[in-house]
Structure 1
């Protein structure tokens, strides 16, 4: 009888962490989740949704806690999804972003190495399309690939680029099985409301139910390569089942503007003209914006057999439907 695999997931309380915990449990793994602090506001929800996941307290900025977590979990696979992951927030707190999102990866890799698990544990690093920064000197007009040049335009992107390169360095220096997933924007019903897609679908649901009358946003013209988080998390897992460690872009291969997202979201509630409901607020505009991000997932599709099940319209539709249902349940709960 095969031995049950063990996985340690940082960022388990986030969007991708939730999808990944669900996938790993379905695959028969014993799952351990790293959670920061005793009063983590998301911990209770994660424990309620995934009672089979063993939570371990730790912090990516605390090497000792990571060593302890690795010793407890004794993982066959580590998925590093933990980060200060909001681009706008990274401009306000660049030092924290560097410490968690960048140096935290070094701390976790060192924890594996110093506990003697460098040769036996497979490591996934959550890299990001924000490392490209919307500037491509190699393939103008085409999607970014694993070999495209990087030019991050936010503290978040810069920190992720350090994390990406230190992960590759440990793969090359110590022979560790380290794969980096360069994921383009991926959204879903687990997305935090501080992110523009979920902010839009939550507001559309509330407008539909008469709970608010408008939404405030920053720039509407940037274009992103958007997909469904559940599809992309499956790609993470596939990377660690692959024969050799490598870097892979996960993307849809198409871009859509925030205006397009708004249009589809409001169409879900029967509103053809969304503009009267949207106000632009300079407070939500970034010091340096990325115009367009477009990925080329050909390598992942060919070598991993990865594919997407949810298209852009399907993504928007399921997010709006979820938020309408959520608001209705919360409203019913407040009346009970």
Structure 2
């Protein structure tokens, strides 16, 4: 497929949305994005921002029918598993029902303009929940264990429904992926920002929940590259996007402190049982074979370097003069 003329992105103020917008703009694509009505507008020169709420399906549909994009990337979501337990109803609406509305909108654009629209749903490894095998691939049973995963599973299954109706629809099953743009409410940024604060003398300890939980962590720009490749592939199908290697939260902590030269970090870390999730998969690790074989995709940044880049960025933020801007695009 040639480079599209126009693309539409939801979730533009999050980590992946900013990287994706930058990638498309570099390619010369006209980028339009939905910015939530209650959030500050992200600083993304070159992106045409449209105020709205993804759950207002009729309004978003009218916008999409007017813009008639060739590619649609749905990245918007209640992106925190912990928040999904606090607001399960909203999570179902945003992560599930609104995604379904966007799929139908893309299909209507395709029918109205009689040309193909390519749709990419940012799914999550949380749809597998408590998997029956490891690593997981595209054929692994969908069995979520939290409201976030359940809502994502609904959208994931709808992708196949719309693919059968002729839409080039892809569900990219993204495993954990990080960068300095990750918001601090995520455990990875909490770790790297607190380690930086400890080194800087602004904090004394790092408090976490389950140190034994294991995840497959990758570099966010790599995963955005997979989204674009999936959108433009000749055949629409679902892809697991992962590194194939799992690490524990403890490994992440050790790598973060190690970047600063601290090897004896255990006295600096405490565990709060109250931070353990009600239902938390012990290990999620993906098999990216299909993405490698069909998309030519592979991760470019290893685990230690990923963690190190995040620590370096948080140290740099603390070393900036007071009042300077250094928070980056970290809203979800």
TM-score strictly above 0.5: yes
The aligned runs of 1:1-336 (5 Å cut-off) are 5-37=5-37, 39-41=38-40, 43=41, 46=42, 48=43, 50-115=44-109, 116=112, 119-136=115-132, 140=133, 142-172=134-164, 174-329=165-320, 331=322, 333=324
TM-score by length of 2: 0.93
Call closer, same or farther: CA 1:188–1:203 in 2, change over 3 Å.
same
Q: Answer yes or no: is the 8 Å Cα contact 1:213–1:277 preserved in 2.
A: yes
3-state secondary structure, aligned to 1:55: strand
Paired residue total? 322
Greater relative CO, 1 or 2 (CA 8 Å, sep 6+) = 2
Call closer, same or farther: CA 1:17–1:3 in 2, change over 3 Å.
closer
- Cα deviation per residue 1:35-67 (whole Å; 9 max; x = unaligned)? 110x413x2xx2x2x210000112121112211
TM-score by length of 1: 0.92
- How well do the aligned residues superpose, as a CA RMSD in angstroms? 1.6
Q: Distance in 2 between matches of 1:272 and 1:146?
A: 38
Deviation (angstroms), 1:332:
6.7
Q: Answer yes or no: is the 8 Å Cα contact 1:105–1:167 preserved in 2.
A: no
Q: Distance in 1 between matches of 2:106 and 2:60?
A: 9
- Cα deviation per residue 1:283-326 (whole Å; 9 max; x = unaligned)? 32111111000100011001100011100011001000011001
Q: Answer yes or no: is the 8 Å Cα contact 2:106–2:119 preserved in 1.
A: no
Q: Distance in 1 between matches of 2:4 and 2:175?
A: 31
- Cα deviation per residue 1:129-154 (whole Å; 9 max; x = unaligned)? 01111321xxx3x3111011121111
Q: Answer yes or no: is the 8 Å Cα contact 1:118–1:176 preserved in 2.
A: no
Deviating 4+ runs (over 4 angstroms): none
- Cα deviation per residue 1:110-166 (whole Å; 9 max; x = unaligned)? 222344368521100011101111321xxx3x3111011121111000000000011
Corresponding residue for residue 329 of structure 2:
none
Q: Answer yes or no: is the 8 Å Cα contact 2:7–2:30 preserved in 1.
A: yes
